[in-house]
Amino acid sequence: MKAKIVGIEKKRGGEWRLSFAIAAPAGVRRMSFRIKEEKCKELDTLEIGEVLDEERYLLFAVEEEKRAALDKAVQILSMGDNSRRGLYRKLKMRGFTEEGATYAVSTLVKKGYLDEEKMLDRQFAVFAAKKTGMLKIASSLSQKGFSSEMIEEARQRARNAGVYDEEEIKMALAQENPDLTRQEWQKLLKKHGFVS
C-alpha cells in the first residue's frame, strides 16, 4: 500500500489537515483527516506529492484508517454475505492497510455482524430453493472465502435441519422434468451442480 499526499493544510490551534490518495487494485481511495501537531513531529517535513509506505502512513492515520475500514466493511456487508477472509480481501483490494482491514473484520465478528455459520446456513436455504447441487455450492462458497471444512459443516447442519437434501432436490427435478431422456437428465443434473 502506498499513500500519496495530495493536500497539506495547517489550521489554527496547532491542527493540520492531511489528504491522501491511496492506490489500490480496485482503484484510488481518498482519505482526509485532521491531526494535532503534537501527535507527530514529522508534519513539517511532509510535502505534497510525497508517497508514504504503510508504516509511515499509519504514523498519522492509524485511528482514521481503522474507522474508515470499519465504515467500508459495514457498507460491503450491507450488500451481501461475506466470509471473514472474503471481507478482509475486499478491504485490502480497496487499499486499506492490514491493520485497518484486520480491525474492521474482528470488530464486526465481536459485535455479531459477521457470523459465518449463520451466513452459510442462509446460503444453503437459498441453494435448496434454487435446486443447486454441491459442485456449484462448493465453488460459489469457496470463491466467497469459505473453507471446504466450513462448507461441509454447513451442509451437514442443513441436512440435519431438513433444509438441504440432495436426493430430495433430485427427486423434485425429476418430477418437474418427467419426459427427459437419460442423456438429458444427466445434462440437467450437471447444469444444477450435481455429480449425477
90 and 170 in a single domain? The answer is no
106 and 134 in a single domain? The answer is no
Q: What is the pLDDT of residues 62-87, one digit of tens each?
A: 999 999 999 999 999 999 888 899 99
Check pLDDT > 80 for residue 158. Answer: yes
Domains identified in the chain, total number? 2
Give the amino acid at 111.
Answer: K
183 and 121 in a single domain? The answer is yes
Domain, as residue range, for 160? 116-192
100 and 153 in a single domain? The answer is no
Q: Which of 63, 90, 110 is the last residue of a domain?
A: 110
Residue 37 sits in a domain whose CATH number is 1.10.10
141 and 97 in a single domain? The answer is no
Residue of 50, 52, 42, 58 whose CA lies nearest to 3: 52
All residues at 6 or more sequence positions from 47 whose CB lies less than 8 Å from its CB, including other chains: 5, 8
15 and 88 in a single domain? The answer is yes
93 and 141 in a single domain? The answer is no
100 and 125 in a single domain? The answer is no
Report the DSSP pairing between strands 51-53 and 27-36. unpaired
Share the mean pLDDT of the chain. 92
Q: Which of 110, 143, 167 is the last residue of a domain?
A: 110
Residue 99: exposed, middle, or buried by beta-carbon count in 10 A (0-12, 13-18, 19+)? middle
Q: How confident is the model at residue 10 (pLDDT cuts 50, 70, 90)?
A: confident
Strand partners, 2: 23, 53
Q: How confident is the model at residue 48 (pLDDT cuts 50, 70, 90)?
A: very high
